[in-house]
């Protein structure tokens, strides 16, 4: 343990990380904290979806006690980041057959284009060792459609079970977004991400409601390039994959109050449309410690803190 402390302190010094006490529950280092459902055993009380980090709809985020004058920057909690991501999407529910609109084809385009984009670069500063940082390498291997009735998303385990059912060859850097055909209803969140295991392989996954006609989760993309429901899913998809790369097991990078890089810039946009290799999207930015520390970079989040970058007007 002492050796680990020394190594971590050296790592912190080398990277100028803002290191906090690491290894919560003594399980931080291997990045596989939590139980078989990927639940971070700390702080789940009061979470709307135990074991998941939710993306609150507009105005739904519970008020938090202000942390006096401490830095708003993200801290490393000792868990692994995901340097590259291999994505396979799952569309779950019978309505994906009868009424897919432009959402399946549009999200295929989104995931095929996000890799190596300037938007993907917005997470590159987050590392778990001097030589292991998030990179913009994101590959997409297509989607599955499951027309059985989808789960509600109020628990992580049915979504993880769906991932393990559909993904027969899971990989450690797999990120599996699950899009259900159900509307949000009274849930306060648009989406969430979590982590677990399929047959012993650690996997990262996320859950998304159908956001058609849902003003609480609408980024207000006026481009006319996408349906409103697709534009909304693209924005939340950017949010969740950004967090899955910087905090894949819910024990790596977040601020003192538990907000991850995309949470801190939720519903704050720096650029009308961001450019991918094959498409354009309206996506919120991500928090950058480096931008917050540099008065010439970054734009303000909804709390007025100037630490958001989006790879468009703000890099
Ligand atoms: Zn989030």
The model's pLDDT over 249-267, given as tens digits with 9 standing for 90+, comes to: 999 999 999 999 999 999 9
Domain count, the chain: 1
What local confidence, expressed as pLDDT, does residue 66 receive?
Answer: 58
User: Does 22 map to a domain?
Assistant: no
Q: Which residues constitute the domain of residue 197? A: 85-309
User: Does 25 map to a domain?
Assistant: no
The model's pLDDT over 190-203, given as tens digits with 9 standing for 90+, comes to: 999 999 999 999 99
User: Does 269 map to a domain?
Assistant: yes
Report the separation in Å between the CA atom of 265 and the middle of ligand 1, taken as the mean of its atom positions: 9
The model's pLDDT over 211-229, given as tens digits with 9 standing for 90+, comes to: 999 999 999 999 999 999 9
Q: Please list the alpha-helical segments (H only) found in 140-246.
A: 157-166, 228-246
What local confidence, expressed as pLDDT, does residue 89 receive?
Answer: 98
Report the separation in Å between the CA atom of 129 and the middle of ligand 1, taken as the mean of its atom positions: 23
What local confidence, expressed as pLDDT, does residue 62 receive?
Answer: 79
User: Does 98 map to a domain?
Assistant: yes
Instruction: Determine the Cα–Cα distance for residues 67 and 58; give it in Å rounded to an integer.
Output: 22
User: Does 37 map to a domain?
Assistant: no
Report the separation in Å between the CA atom of 286 and the middle of ligand 1, taken as the mean of its atom positions: 10
* CATH number of the domain bearing residue 240: 3.40.390
Q: Which residues of the chain have pLDDT under 70?
A: 1-46, 64-68
Report the separation in Å between the CA atom of 264 and the middle of ligand 1, taken as the mean of its atom positions: 8
pTM over 0.95: no
What local confidence, expressed as pLDDT, does residue 45 receive?
Answer: 54
User: Does 184 map to a domain?
Assistant: yes
User: Does 300 map to a domain?
Assistant: yes
Report the separation in Å between the CA atom of 98 and the middle of ligand 1, taken as the mean of its atom positions: 30
- Please give all residues whose CB falls under 5 A of ion ligand 1, grouped by chain where several chains appear: 55, 243, 262-263
User: Does 315 map to a domain?
Assistant: no
């Amino acid at each position: 343990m002492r050796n680990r402390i020394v190594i971590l302190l050296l790592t912190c010094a080398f990277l100028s990380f803002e290191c906090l006490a690491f290894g919560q529950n003594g399980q931080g280092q291997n990045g596989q904290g939590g139980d078989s459902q990927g639940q971070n055993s700390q702080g789940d009380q009061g979470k709307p979806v135990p074991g998941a980090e939710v993306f609150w709809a507009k105005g739904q985020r519970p008020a938090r006690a202000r942390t006096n004058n401490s830095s708003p920057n993200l801290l490393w909690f000792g868990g692994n980041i995901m340097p590259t991501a291999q994505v396979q999407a799952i569309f779950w529910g019978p309505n994906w057959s009868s009424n897919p609109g432009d959402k399946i084809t549009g999200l295929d385009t989104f995931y095929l284009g996000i890799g190596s984009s300037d938007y993907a670069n917005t997470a590159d500063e987050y590392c778990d060792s001097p030589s292991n940082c998030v990179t913009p390498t994101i590959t997409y291997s297509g989607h599955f459609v499951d027309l059985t009735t989808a789960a509600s998303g109020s628990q992580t385990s049915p979504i993880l079970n769906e991932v393990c059912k559909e993904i027969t060859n899971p990989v450690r850097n797999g990120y599996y977004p699950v899009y259900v055909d159900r509307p949000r209803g009274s849930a306060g969140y648009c989406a969430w991400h979590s982590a677990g295991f399929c047959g012993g392989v650690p996997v990262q996954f996320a859950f998304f409601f159908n956001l058609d006609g849902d003003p609480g989760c609408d980024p207000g993309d006026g481009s006319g390039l996408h349906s409103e429901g697709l534009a909304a899913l693209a924005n939340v998809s950017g949010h969740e994959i950004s967090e899955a790369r910087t905090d894949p097991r819910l024990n790596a990078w977040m601020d003192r109050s538990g907000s991850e890089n995309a949470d801190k810039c939720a519903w704050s946009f720096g650029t009308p449309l961001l450019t991918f290799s094959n498409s354009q999207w309206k996506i919120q930015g991500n928090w950058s410690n480096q931008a917050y520390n540099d008065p010439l970079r970054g734009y303000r989040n909804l709390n007025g803190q100037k630490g958001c970058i989006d790879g468009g007007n703000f890099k």
